[in-house]
Structure 1
Amino acid sequence: MRVLVLNCGSSSVKFAVIDTKTKESIASGLVENIGVDGHTKAKGPEGKIDFNFDCPTHAEAVDQVKKFLDEQKLTDTIEAIGHRVVHGGKYIKSEKVTQDVIDYIRSIVLFAPLHEPAHATGMECAMKFFPNLKDKQVAVFDTAFHQTMPRKAFLYGIPYKFYESDAIRRYGFHGTSHRFVTAEAAAILGKKPEECCFITAHLGNGSSCSAILNGKCADTTMGFTPLDGLIMGTRSGSIDPAILFYISKKYGYDIDRLDKMVNKESGLLGLSGLSNDMRTLTQAASEGHVGAQIALETFCYKLAREIGGIAMALPRIDALVFTGGIGENSMLVRKTVMENLALLGYQIDEDRNNKAGKESGHMINKEGTPKAMVVATNEELLIALDTEDLVK
Structure 2
Amino acid sequence: MSRILAVNPGSTSTKIAVYEDGKEILKENIPVDQDLISAYKCVLDQLDHRFELIRQTLLEKGILPESFDAVVGRGGILAPIPSGTYLVTKEMTDYLAEAPRGEHASNLGAFIAKRFAEMSGCRAFIVDPVSVDELTEVARISGAPEIKRSSLVHALNQKAVARKAAAELGKKYEDCRFVVAHLGTGITIGAHCGGKIVDVVGAKADGPFSPERAGGLPV
| TM-score w.r.t. length of structure 2 | 0.77
* CA-based RMSD: 3.2
Equivalent residue for 1:8? 9
Aligned match for 1:97, one of 82, 88, 101: 88
Residues 1:143 and 2:127 aligned together: no
Structure with the largest fraction of strand: 2
State the identity as a percent: 23
1:307-331: CA deviation from partner (whole Å, max 9, x where unpaired): xxxxxxxxxxxxxxxxxxxxxxxxx
SS at match of 1:183: helix
Counterpart check, 1:82 vs 2:83? no
Alignment partner of 1:153 is 2:153? no
Quote the Cα distance in structure 2 between the aligned partners of 1:11 and 1:195: 35
In the TM superposition, residue 179 of structure 1 has moved relative to its aligned partner by 0.9
Q: Write the deviation string for residues 170-217 of structure 1: whole angstroms up to 9, x where unpaired.
A: 213111111112212222222212221111122233222111112221
**Residue of 179, 182, 202 corresponding to 1:202:** 182
- Change in 2 beyond 3 A, CA 1:104/1:157: farther
| Cα deviation 1:103-122 (Å, max 9, x = unaligned) | 12234x14222436644653
2:195 to 199, 215, 219: 215
Aligned to 1:26: 26
Shift in Å at residue 158 of structure 1?
4.6
Greater share of residues in helix? 1
Q: CA separation in 1, counterparts of 2:47 and 2:35?
A: 8
- CA positional deviation for 1:124: 5.5
Contact residue 3 and residue 18 of structure 1 kept, 8 A:
yes
Q: How big is the shift at 1:155?
A: 4.5
- Which of 134, 140, 163 is residue 183 of structure 1 equivalent to? 163
Q: Which has the greater radius of gyration? A: 1
Is the 1:94–1:138 contact (alpha carbons within 8 Å) kept by the matching residues of 2? Answer: yes
Matched, 1:131 2:119: yes
Aligned to 1:237: 215
Relative to structure 1, is the Cα distance of residues 100 and 33 closer, same or farther in structure 2, using a 3 angstrom cutoff?
Answer: same
Change in 2 beyond 3 A, CA 1:114/1:220:
closer
Q: How far apart in 2 are the matches of 1:147 and 1:171? A: 5
The amino acid of 2:33's aligned partner reads N
CA distance in 1, matches of 2:209, 2:107: 26
CA 1:11/1:120 → structure 2, altered by over 3 Å: closer, same or farther? farther
The change in CA–CA distance for 1:34 and 1:63 in structure 2 (over 3 A counts) is farther
Deviates more, 1:10-19 or 1:202-211: 10-19
* Alpha-carbon distance in 1 for matches of 2:100, 2:153: 16
Among 20, 30, 50, the alignment partner of 1:61 is: 50
- What is the DSSP-based 3-state SS (H/G/I as helix, E as strand, rest coil) of the residue aligned with 2:178? strand
Letter of the 1:5 partner, please give it.
A
AA aligned to 1:4 is L
CA contact (8 A) 1:88 1:141 kept: no
- Closer, same or farther in 2 for the Cα pair 1:103/1:197, shift >3 Å? same
The 8 Å contact of residues 86 and 143 in structure 1, kept in 2 or not, is answered as yes
8 Å contact from structure 2 (residues 8, 106) kept in 1? no
Note the C-alpha offset of 1:239.
2.1
CA distance in 2, matches of 1:89, 1:63: 28
Gaps of 5+ in 2: 39-44
Of the candidates 64, 70, 75, which is equivalent to residue 59 of structure 2? 70
The answer to whether the 8 A contact 2:204-2:214 is kept is no
Q: How many residues align?
A: 210
C-alpha contact 1:230 1:237 (8 A) present in aligned 2: yes
Amino acid at match of 2:137: R
Q: Is the aligned partner of 1:113 residue 2:103?
A: yes
Contact 1:149-1:219 within 8 A present in 2 as well: yes
**Which stretches in structure 1 are left out of the alignment for 5+ residues?**
39-55, 164-168, 243-392
Separation in structure 1 between the aligned mates of residue 35 and residue 79 of structure 2, nearest angstrom: 27
Between the aligned partners of 1:81 and 1:149, the Cα distance in structure 2 is 29
Identify if the C-alpha distance between structure 1 residues 156 and 115 changes in structure 2 by more than 3 Å, giving closer, same or farther.
farther
Deviation of 1:12 (Å): 5.4
Do the aligned residues in 2 keep the contact of 1:196 with 1:215 (CA within 8 Å)? yes
